[in-house]
Amino acid sequence: MSNSNINLIDSFQEFKEFKNIDRPTVITVLEEVFRSMIRRRFGTDENVDVIVNPDNGDLEIWRTRVVVEDEFSEDDDLEIELAEARKHDEDLEVGDDFIEQITLESFGRRAILAARQTLVSKVLELEKDEVFKKYKDREGELVIGEVYQIWKKEILVLDEDGNELILPKSEQIPADYFKKGDGIRAVVHKVDMMNNNPKIIISRTAPAFLQRLFELEVPEIFDGLITIKKIVREPGERAKVAVESYDDRIDPVGACVGMKGSRIHGIVRELRNENIDVINFTTNHSLYIARALSPARISSIKIDEENKTAAVYLKSDQVSLAIGRGGHNIKLAGKLTGYEIDVYRENDEFDEDVDIEEFSDEIEGWVIDELKRVGLDSAKSVLSLSEEELVRRTDLEEDTIKDIIRILQAEFE
């Protein structure tokens, strides 16, 4: 076997190893490439058999021509004259089939290299299509990969087949920290074809990621006994998960949290200590909003169905819990329930309290807005907190806080 022949056979060995393409497809591609070589050389391939051995990539090409009288051949590609045919086999007669094996090297080195090139590009194209199809069907599913390269704006992750997945900064939890070689879990977020290359974006911030983690940790969710109705997240900070069970004997919240928090603990760790509130879903809107604001305990609630707003009244020590650090708790409760929630302090505690708006001539409007944003809507609610606590909860400077306290205290002296 000549060197050029071996070259090609070697390359078939490589093609057999292609990870996402099945053997019959590779053989079809091989055959097509050789048939186009044959057409280029002989003008037709209809009288040629191409046989590829699927086990070792060996290739045989057999060409059949009809034996005709000498001087009678009209088409050398389909016919062969008797004298010529008898040089190979003396027993041939006119009308017989003359079958010969065509060696690869007879095509010449350049044709073989060109065929190899075509082969490589066709197989790569198939590869890309396969990867795209495989991942397009898996959008929203969990993938596990290994961190391969870390850039400023994204991380390159390889799956077990070596396919490239991209984890952009925007899809990472703020506290995520990865090194090359780390294992990583995420969901398939978006799959596109860009310039003929599949671009697979994965995410750790999508609600679907939290949902898949729950399915892994809580068999009842995987088995469909408990349904996750809705998930809202502030990645790395807090998440709220509304669950429902169709079996009265199962407590959906208890099942999700597990004994002493055993089930939820693993999820919280994976999400870099994101606080997860699991709540019972209900169609009773007041109850749903009250549950959504956990860990705060609500005293009463007024709902305006038309405008989708809810006024929630709480004892003063519950207000900051309802709003949560950075306002995350109230924001997520609103997203989960679909209501715009306003938090108010119960009036009976502060009979002689003064609404913060009353100080608008002494305190600037944006400062009042900032205090109200964190649930401080009256003079006493502000004064009930220490200076440090106020600085921590609001976006206000220490000097500004000092001024506010001075102004409000003057009111009660």
Contact (CB, 8 A) for 95 and 67: yes
Pick the CATH number of 350-412 from 3.40.1130, 1.10.150, 1.20.120, 1.10.3470: 1.10.150
Window from 76-85, 110-119, 182-191, 347-356 with minimum mean pLDDT: 347-356
Please choose, from the candidates 81, 37, 42, 76, the residue with its C-alpha nearest in 3D space to the C-alpha of residue 59: 37
* 12 pLDDT above the threshold of 80: no
Residues of the chain with CATH 3.30.1480: 3-133
Q: Rounded CA gap, 109 and 89, in Å? A: 29
Instruction: Read off the pLDDT band of 72 (50, 70, 90).
Output: confident
Number of H helices, E strands in the chain: 15, 15
Residues of the chain with CATH 1.10.150: 350-412
- φ, ψ at 191 (rounded to 5°): -130, 120
Model pLDDT, residue 16: 54
- pLDDT tens string 212-235: 999 999 999 999 999 999 999 999
The mean of the pLDDT values for the chain is: 89
Q: Which two tokens stand for residue 331?
A: 């924001």
Window from 65-74, 172-181, 196-205, 259-268 with minimum mean pLDDT: 65-74
Q: Rounded CA gap, 358 and 354, in Å? A: 7
- β-pairing, 238-245 with 275-280? parallel
- pLDDT tens string 355-401: 888 888 889 999 999 998 888 888 888 988 888 889 888 889 999 99
Residues of the chain with CATH 2.40.50.140: 138-203
Instruction: Read off the pLDDT band of 2 (50, 70, 90).
Output: very low
Pick the CATH number of 3-133 from 3.30.1480, 3.40.630, 1.10.10, 3.30.1380: 3.30.1480
Contact (CB, 8 A) for 301 and 286: yes
Q: Rounded CA gap, 105 and 110, in Å? A: 10
Q: Which CATH superfamily is domain 214-281 in?
A: K homology (KH) domain (3.30.300.20)
Q: Rounded CA gap, 83 and 80, in Å? A: 9
- β-pairing, 142-150 with 154-158? antiparallel
Residue 353 burial (CB count, 10 A): 18
Task: Determine whether domain 288-347 maps to CATH 2.40.30.110.
Answer: no
Residues of the chain with CATH 3.30.300.20: 214-281, 288-347
Reported CATH class of domain 138-203: mainly beta
